[in-house]
Amino acid sequence: MLKKFSPEKLEDILETGIEIFADKGLHGAGMASIAQQAGVSVGVLYKYYANKEDFFRACLHHSLNSLESLLQEVTSREDKLLNYSRQLIRALQSFSARHPSHIRMYHQITASSGEPARQLAAEIEGLSSRLYTRLIADGSSSGALRRDIDPALFAFFFDNLLMMLQFSYCCDYYKARMELYCGGMPEDSLVEEQLLRFLESAFTFDRSLVPHGD
């Protein structure tokens, strides 16, 4: 009856927590149902986590870690923005298929408010925001990307598109919305191609270089 605790079990617990929190939110999820679905007793949860919120945060960071390692992998091979936009899109598609609840969990935190929201944003978005901004600034000054842009805002738009793509693959509401737009779930390859086309144009077209203008 007593099961030895193990790192694998912890993984199970966190994954179960992510699954349920991602669906029902911090308040909607119940500790008992998480414990049951994870195959442990509630006591175990409270042995490792002080309370529900603490456990929620642990689940949050667990899912963020997996997201972060995804990003790390893609961005480790330093490259130009457009060169690895494709890698990024594919990675997100693959990750969304494998770990939809991690993305949904990430979506949950975007609903948080107050100072915690501020801190989470700094913690989570700091890396990519700096990376994207720098890549765009570099590309812009090297001539690979257009010059008439605010690198920060364009990085922001860029990440916005990627975030929404992830949500659209994982969250029920966004999924339904994408199907509404496309008349069914579009092929990964079509999305990849079109989004790249959208991004490339947005980043490389420079009206000031076009002869006549408006």
**Closest C-alpha among 153, 174, 176, 179 to residue 164:** 174
Q: Which of 9, 10, 12, 26 binds a copy of itself (CB under 8 A)?
A: 26
**CA gap 18, 180 in Å, rounded:** 27
Token output for 99? 């770990």
**CA gap 38, 11 in Å, rounded:** 10
CB of 65 to DNA, least distance (A): 22
Host H or E run for residue 207:
none
Is the CB of residue 131 less than 8 Å from the CB of residue 125? no
**CA gap 186, 184 in Å, rounded:** 6
The answer to whether 184 contacts DNA (rule: CB under 7 A) is: no
Token output for 47? 């042995």
Under DSSP, is residue 163 helix (H, G, I), strand (E, B) or coil? helix
The answer to whether 197 contacts DNA (rule: CB under 7 A) is: no
Q: Which of 64, 71, 120, 144 binds a copy of itself (CB under 8 A)?
A: 120
**CA gap 175, 164 in Å, rounded:** 10
Per CB under 7 A, contacts with DNA among 87-146 are none
Is the CB of residue 123 less than 8 Å from the CB of residue 136? no
Site string for DNA, 44-63 (x = CB under 7 A): x-xx---xxx----------
The answer to whether 160 contacts DNA (rule: CB under 7 A) is: no
Answer with the entry of DNA, a copy of itself, none that 4 interacts with (C-beta below 5 to 8 A by kind). Answer: DNA
CB of 145 to a copy of itself, least distance (A): 11
Q: Which of 43, 114, 143, 213 binds a copy of itself (CB under 8 A)?
A: 114
Q: CB-wise, 49 or 154, nearer to a copy of itself?
A: 154
Q: CB-wise, 30 or 126, nearer to DNA?
A: 30
Answer with the entry of a copy of itself, DNA, none that 149 interacts with (C-beta below 5 to 8 A by kind). Answer: a copy of itself
Cβ-proximal residues to 56 (8 Å cutoff; 6+ apart), any chain:
17, 21, 26
CB of 38 to DNA, least distance (A): 9
Q: Which residues bind DNA (CB under 7 A)?
A: 1-5, 9, 29-32, 40-44, 46-47, 51-53
